[in-house]
Amino acid sequence: MSPERIINSVAPIRICDNGGWTDTWFAEHGKIFNIGVYPYVEVQIEVHPREERHERIVLVAENYGDRYAIDKDKKEWIKHPLLEAAIQRMGIPEDSAVLISIFSEVPAGCSTGTSASVSVALIGALSELTPTKLTPVEVAYRAHEIETNILHQQSGIQDQLCAAYGGVNYIQMDKYPHASVSSIRVPDSVWWELERRLCLVYLGKPHVSSEIHERVIKELEDRGPENRKIDNLRKTAEKAKDAIYCGDFVALGKSMIENNEHQRALHSSLICSEADQIFEVAKRFGASGWKVNGAGGEGGSITILSGPLMPQKREMIKAIESLNSSFRNIPIYLSRFGLRVWSQSPDR
């Protein structure tokens, strides 16, 4: 049977997170610069009358090849906890049956806030089934609440906010988790040049939070929110914001490199040897800046801000991919929008 309604939702992923680690509970207050890009995460919900479907809630996680029914009253989540917890938290109307499909072209564990983007897109779509629809910022905080309060995972706030707002953002967190988001508006020429210069390189294996991250968190917690290591990261966010407003790509690249080295100072293992290999190639081909995405560590991805010459950028990407068969350039473009949700009739 055809669905009576189809709900679509998309949200961008996050790269170039200067000031990452300062959007956390142990930092207490922070400053973060980040950039929302596509390829986005896609969610689609097919809504049917309850009596037409044997299974009331079916989840399809396309990237994992998983399709299974969900018991919304079950208190444990095994296959995809973040998705299952979001469905339970939001609820499905009793008179409806749903088929929920989720897909992303970005590899899982890419350290681009993809799980947060999935959560934001899913909650945004599920919100369409409720009497009171959530605003994008409400969706972001609901997603953060699920990850931290329900699943008890470590999570800053920047990924969810970037997924909700899109574009280039400067986030000021006055007291965790409350923050204000300033969307940075620049002339089209700056936007287009930024988009042309940015590269996202996947290291070929997923980022996995490890005991190294727990050790870093413990050390930062013991030192307090005003310690120099955290404050150095906050300052790189300010520098990136000022640079992009001025259209100064040299200064932006410098802020990225500074952030990368301040992150290394948290623990040497947060910048893996594969990333350092790529940084050397980027430097050789005249790149303005580079940094690991997210918390760092083994696997994941890096952001590179190439130099002004297009042929050099293409040669740089070729050289990087020739280093290791697992290294892969992921084509990206800047997101003018954050979370987008819309419905359609299957007959139109």
- In this structure, are residues 277 and 321 in contact, taking their beta carbons and an 8 Å threshold? no
- In this structure, are residues 209 and 21 in contact, taking their beta carbons and an 8 Å threshold? no
Pairing of strands 57-61, 96-104: parallel
pTM attached to this predicted model: 0.95
Domain 5-344 in this protein, CATH class? alpha beta
Q: For residue 38, which amino acid is it?
A: Y
Helix (H) / strand (E) containing 341? strand 340-344
Q: Average pLDDT per run of 10 along the chain, which is 348 residues long? A: 93 98 96 97 96 92 95 78 95 95 93 96 97 95 96 93 98 97 97 98 85 86 93 98 98 98 94 97 98 94 98 98 97 97 84
- In this structure, are residues 24 and 176 in contact, taking their beta carbons and an 8 Å threshold? yes
Q: Tokens 């800053």 map to which residue? A: 156
Per-residue DSSP letters for 121-150? HHHHHHHTTSSSPPPHHHHHHHHHHIIIII
What is the reported pLDDT for 44? 98
Measured CA distances, 163 to 43, 85, 150, 198, 337 (Å): 13, 19, 20, 18, 9
What is the reported pLDDT for 291? 98
What is the reported pLDDT for 348? 66
Rg of the chain, C-alpha, whole Å: 20
Q: For residue 181, which amino acid is it?
A: V
What is the reported pLDDT for 286? 98
Q: Tokens 């210069």 map to which residue? A: 197
What is the reported pLDDT for 213? 85
